């Protein structure tokens, strides 16, 4: 991987180059696309994206492409294995002196279904082998491309197409969100971070930091999803920002054996985040105090572990 | 070099002589010896290939296909359950037109679990777009790997290939194998032709189409490439004979020319079939044998030629499609249907889980042909002593295993 030739201090330092062009078949307001656009601005077009089945598979529909990078679609479970094959092939040919080392980046791009569920094994193994690659998981907390069904990433009380609300179940998803960050962290990757499309500088700085390191560089991004989560496309960045401000989506990084929170939450009341999304509408009609306070408790419990507590009067 | 080596080692030698750049591996009996051998050669610096241990056959095939597209000559190997675990990727890789070579060491599929060979594993892959070559001997395991590279990488073909060899009967059996000189293999194969990925060459690969006509077009292309592979097999085997003096053909004919009746077989049990043919010939039974080396592409024209004027053909399937019968029988019946004077066909299932066919089995097969016993009903070969063994074990099992 080639270290960057520029420094990111302010938003003005954002590279002007675009590697994700407009005109894809993604939904309006797709948070994932914004993250990919920013991500590629940092690592550049000398990259090959290795994709698993998901929304972003439709970035490339024959004969059209809106990426200036290379692309390989593998299958649902195995994008990290595809990345392994490409890296190994190039390294083998470089070692044998058959080709020069052009520092081509390999970027795995999958949704949460692949990352949290069906592809967890292949991701674990790629990290275990210290594969030199980037992984960007765009996490919209459900199987979005198939119509928003529950995945391992779906949080408690989110309604999905397979965890609908009914007479027997008025909560929707009953389990908490799987902690993929900690699962990945147990593998000691070179770099691991959460990102958000609403915090572009935070996102790009993290990718830039990671670019100096060899080995697995792992990113879990909050993919605000108007279609699945249920809000107007114009609110996409607002929802992504609220996820961070409420403390529900911690922005953090793990590098050199240390977790650092890069943006601290304001502990904005979680209701402000929940009530703008249709997937939580059942919690407000009538108001399900018990479920909402359970969500609050989970948020507080998370931050308490790091000694971060809301100032009095907030998070009421 | 001429040495006593196992079928597994012979297959590994094929990969070594092809100077592969990359070998993703995952262990499974009875294939494991192949990847152990290659790992040792890599550790000793005898080969330049990068060897990577994957976490499943599914990932192994994914890595293999991706690497082949990235510009590396790739070898890999699996067996049975492993092949099925990787199954999704077979179709992807043929669609990618990635010309890698994979050895499948045949083993019957669970359940019940077994380690010994039959061909339900490899024949499950027949519709995937992979080329398929089936070895009869350890020598042929090596030769088939070299030929598979030559055919797979032929610009008319550009498809992945499976070389099949039987577990145990070939994988762990030592035979005298002539290992060709490296220089000759270099000349025979030539360099790998897929352009490596580079700054200037970062294509989009394996992408989606939402148009049925476009999808159809690309799948038809795989079929057209398989048909071209018939010519590529012919060219490659002639070239192989020129380089190494050994003759391989899509279909091998054994004592077939003047025969009235033919057995059709594949893989290592063909050797047992040939012995039975020889013995029956001594009793003036005019019988011969056809052995299919290439199963994909299916050599239809060669088959039609080879059976012309025969009175009856017995197809020995070491596989079973429950509810239908023998897989290869169905393919042969399909190929011959409607041809002039197509001979009578009979279907026999044997060799499942490595059950060795006996002289009596072969005599029975010829008897069925001679006496014109109704066709289309697969005969499930099972002798009296086989049934006695089953009965004995069932009694123990029904007692509670004591």
Walk me through the domains of chain B, giving residue ranges and CATH numbers.
2-244 (3.40.50.970), 253-388 (3.40.50.920)
- Residues B289-307: tens digit of each pLDDT: 999 999 999 999 999 999 9
User: A216: burial class by Cβ within 10 Å (0-12, 13-18, 19+)?
Assistant: buried
Pairing of strands B251-254, B287-292: antiparallel
pLDDT at A238 over 80: yes
Q: Distance between CA A35 and CA A195 in Å, rounded?
A: 8
Report the complex ipTM: 0.96
Give the pLDDT of chain B (402 residues) as one tens digit per residue: 889 999 999 999 999 999 999 999 999 999 999 999 999 999 999 999 999 999 999 999 999 999 999 999 999 999 999 999 999 999 999 999 999 999 999 999 999 999 999 999 999 999 999 999 999 999 999 999 999 999 999 999 999 999 999 999 999 999 999 999 999 999 999 999 999 999 999 999 999 999 999 999 999 999 999 999 999 999 999 999 999 999 999 999 999 999 999 999 999 999 999 999 999 999 999 999 999 999 999 999 999 999 999 999 999 999 999 999 999 999 999 999 999 989 999 999 999 999 999 999 999 999 999 987 765 689 999 999 999 999 999 999 999 988
Tell me which DSSP letter residue B178 carries. E
Q: Distance between CA A48 and CA B196 in Å, rounded?
A: 13
Phi, psi angles (nearest 5°) of residue B236: -70, -40
Within an 8 Å CB–CB cutoff, is residue A99 touching chain B? Answer: yes
- List all residues 6 or more positions away from A282 whose beta carbon is below 8 Å from its beta carbon: A159, A165, A170, A171, A172, A288
**Can you count the helices (H) and strands (E) in chain A?**
9, 10
Q: Distance between CA A64 and CA B84 in Å, rounded?
A: 33
Quick check: B370 and B312 in contact, CB under 8 A?
Answer: yes
Helical H segments across B245-283, by residue range = 269-282
CB atoms within 10 A of CB B9: 24
What would the two tokens of residue A236 be? 């996409």
- A-B interface: how many C-beta pairs under 8 angstroms? 156
Helical H segments across A96-199, by residue range = 112, 120-128, 180-185
- In this structure, CATH architecture of domain A11-304: 3-Layer(aba) Sandwich (3.40)
Q: Distance between CA B28 and CA B186 in Å, rounded?
A: 30
8 Å CB contact of B62 and A98: no
**Which residue in the block uniquely carries the two structure tokens 């009746």?**
B261
The pLDDT confidence band at residue A316, using thresholds 50, 70 and 90, is very low
- Residues B183-223: tens digit of each pLDDT: 999 999 999 999 999 999 999 999 999 999 999 999 999 99
Quick check: B11 and B163 in contact, CB under 8 A?
Answer: yes
CB atoms within 10 A of CB A167: 5
How many Cα atoms are found within 13 Å in the side-chain-facing hemisphere of B309?
A: 6
Among the partner-chain residues A57, A70, A74, the one whose CB lies closest to the CB of B197 is A70
Quick check: A151 and A140 in contact, CB under 8 A?
Answer: no
Sheet holding B161-166, edge to edge: B75-78, B101-106, B161-166, B131-134, B294-296
pLDDT at A311 over 90: no
Rounded to a whole number of angstroms, the distance from the CA of B60 to the nearest CA of chain A is 7
Within an 8 Å CB–CB cutoff, is residue A66 touching chain B? Answer: no
Quick check: B103 and B145 in contact, CB under 8 A?
Answer: yes
8 Å CB contact of B63 and A48: no
8 Å CB contact of A92 and B21: yes
Rounded to whole angstroms, what are the CA distances from B350 to A213, B84, B230, B379?
Answer: 58, 22, 29, 9
**CA A102 distance to own-chain centroid:** 28
The fraction of chain A above a pLDDT of 90, given in percent, is: 92
Rounded to the nearest 10°, the torsion over CA B57, B63, B68, B70 is 170
- List all residues 6 or more positions away from B4 whose beta carbon is below 8 Å from its beta carbon: B174, B175, B176, B177
Among the partner-chain residues A61, A73, A95, the one whose CB lies closest to the CB of B206 is A73
Quick check: A171 and A157 in contact, CB under 8 A?
Answer: yes
Per-domain boundaries in chain A: 11-304
B47-69 in b/e form (b: 16+ CB < 10 A) is bbbbbbebbbbbbbbbbbbbbbb
Residue A175: strand pairing partners: none
Quick check: B8 and B30 in contact, CB under 8 A?
Answer: yes
pLDDT at A314 over 80: no
Rounded to a whole number of angstroms, the distance from the CA of B128 to the nearest CA of chain A is 15
Q: Which helix (H) or strand (E) holds B19?
A: none
- Chain A, residues 117-156, CB within 8 A of chain B, namely 121-122, 124-125, 128-129
Q: Distance between CA A168 and CA A150 in Å, rounded?
A: 18
The fraction of chain B above a pLDDT of 70, given in percent, is: 99
Tell me which DSSP letter residue B74 carries. B
Quick check: B263 and B289 in contact, CB under 8 A?
Answer: yes
8 Å CB contact of A70 and B208: no
DSSP of A277-289, one letter per residue? Answer: SGGGGGGBTTB-H
Rounded to whole angstroms, what are the CA distances from B245 to B5, B11, B185, B240, B294?
Answer: 20, 19, 13, 7, 19
Quick check: B47 and B41 in contact, CB under 8 A?
Answer: yes
Rounded to whole angstroms, what are the CA distances from A138 to A234, B109, B149, B262?
Answer: 19, 38, 39, 60
- List all residues 6 or more positions away from B105 whose beta carbon is below 8 Å from its beta carbon: B7, B8, B11, B30, B31, B34, B77, B78, B79, B80, B117, B164, B165, B166, B167, B170, B171
Rounded to a whole number of angstroms, the distance from the CA of A248 to the nearest CA of chain B is 34
Average pLDDT for A259-276:
98
How many Cα atoms are found within 13 Å in the side-chain-facing hemisphere of B226?
A: 24
* Contact residues of B toward A, CB < 8 A: 21-22, 24, 48-50, 52-56, 58-60, 62-72, 74, 88-89, 92, 196-199, 202-211, 214
- Residues B2-12: tens digit of each pLDDT: 899 999 999 99
- Residues A43-65: tens digit of each pLDDT: 999 999 999 999 999 999 999 99
- List all residues 6 or more positions away from B115 whose beta carbon is below 8 Å from its beta carbon: B29, B30, B107, B167, B168
Is there a cis peptide before residue A54, judged by omega within 30 degrees of 0?
no
Within an 8 Å CB–CB cutoff, is residue A71 touching chain B? Answer: yes
Hey, is B289 helix, strand or coil?
Answer: strand
């Amino acid at each position: 991987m080639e270290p960057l030739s520029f420094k990111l201090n302010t938003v003005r330092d954002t590279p002007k180059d675009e590697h994700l062009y407009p005109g894809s078949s993604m939904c309006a307001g797709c948070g994932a696309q914004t993250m990919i656009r920013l991500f590629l601005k940092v690592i550049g077009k000398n990259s090959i994206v290795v994709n698993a089945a998901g929304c972003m598979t439709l970035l490339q529909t024959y004969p059209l492409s809106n990426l200036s990078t290379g692309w390989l679609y593998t299958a649902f479970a195995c994008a990290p294995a595809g990345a392994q094959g490409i890296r190994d092939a190039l390294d083998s040919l470089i070692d044998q002196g058959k080709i020069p080392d052009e520092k081509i980046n390999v970027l795995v791009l999958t949704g949460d279904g692949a990352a949290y569920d069906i592809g967890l094994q292949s991701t674990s193994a790629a990290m275990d082998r210290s594969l030199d690659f980037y992984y960007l998981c765009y996490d919209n907390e459900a199987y979005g491309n198939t119509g928003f069904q529950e995945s391992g990433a779906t949080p408690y009380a989110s309604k999905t197409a397979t965890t609908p609300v009914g007479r027997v179940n008025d909560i929707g998803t009953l389990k908490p969100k799987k902690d993929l960050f900690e699962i990945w962290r147990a593998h000691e990757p070179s770099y691991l971070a959460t990102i958000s499309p609403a915090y572009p500088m935070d996102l790009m700085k993290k990718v830039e930091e990671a670019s100096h390191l060899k080995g697995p560089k792992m990113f879990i991004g909050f993919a605000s999803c108007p279609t699945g989560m249920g809000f107007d496309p114009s609110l996409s960045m607002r929802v992504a920002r609220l996820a961070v401000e409420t403390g529900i989506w911690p922005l953090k990084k793990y590098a050199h054996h240390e977790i650092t929170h890069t943006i601290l939450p304001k502990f904005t009341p979680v209701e402000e985040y929940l009530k703008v999304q249709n997937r939580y509408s059942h919690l407000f009609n009538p108001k399900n105090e018990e479920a909402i306070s359970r969500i609050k408790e989970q948020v507080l419990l998370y931050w308490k572990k790091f000694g971060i507590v809301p100032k009095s009067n907030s998070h009421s | 070099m001429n040495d006593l080596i196992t079928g597994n080692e012979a297959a590994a030698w094929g990969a070594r002589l092809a100077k592969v750049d990359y070998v993703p591996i995952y262990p499974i009996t009875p294939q494991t010896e192949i990847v152990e051998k290659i790992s040792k050669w890599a550790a000793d610096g005898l080969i330049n290939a990068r060897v990577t241990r994957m976490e499943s056959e599914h990932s192994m095939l994914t890595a293999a296909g991706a690497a082949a597209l990235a510009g590396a000559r790739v070898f890999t190997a699996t067996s049975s359950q492993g092949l099925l675990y990787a199954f999704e990727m077979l179709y992807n890789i043929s669609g990618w037109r990635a010309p890698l070579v994979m050895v499948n060491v045949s083993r019957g599929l669970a359940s019940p679990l077994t380690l010994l060979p039959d061909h339900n594993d490899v024949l499950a892959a027949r519709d995937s777009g992979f080329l398929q070559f089936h070895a009869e001997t350890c020598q042929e395991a090596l030769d088939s790997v070299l030929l598979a590279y030559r055919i797979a990488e032929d610009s008319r073909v550009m498809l992945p290939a499976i070389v099949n060899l039987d577990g145990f009967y070939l994988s762990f059996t030592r035979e005298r194998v002539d290992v060709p000189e490296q220089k000759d293999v270099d000349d025979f194969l030539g360099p790998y032709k897929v352009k490596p990925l580079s700054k200037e060459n970062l294509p989009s690969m394996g992408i989606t189409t939402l148009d049925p006509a476009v999808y159809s077009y690309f799948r038809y292309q795989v079929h057209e490439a398989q048909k071209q592979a018939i010519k590529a097999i012919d060219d490659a085997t002639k070239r192989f004979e020129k380089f190494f003096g050994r003759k391989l053909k899509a279909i091998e004919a054994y004592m077939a020319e003047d025969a009235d009746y033919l057995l059709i077989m594949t893989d290592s049990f063909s050797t047992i079939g040939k012995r039975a043919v020889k013995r029956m010939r001594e009793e003036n039974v005019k019988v011969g044998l056809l052995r299919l080396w290439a199963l994909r592409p299916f050599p239809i024209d060669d088959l039609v030629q080879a059976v012309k004027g025969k009175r009856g053909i017995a197809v020995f399937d070491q596989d079973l499609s429950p509810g239908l019968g023998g897989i290869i029988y169905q393919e042969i019946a399909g190929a011959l249907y409607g041809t002039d004077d197509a001979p009578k066909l009979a279907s026999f299932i044997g060799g499942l889980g490595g059950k060795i066919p006996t002289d009596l089995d072969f005599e029975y097969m010829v008897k069925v042909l001679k006496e014109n016993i109704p066709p289309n009903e697969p005969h499930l070969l099972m002798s009296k002593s086989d049934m006695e063994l089953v009965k004995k074990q069932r009694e123990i099992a029904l007692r509670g295993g004591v």
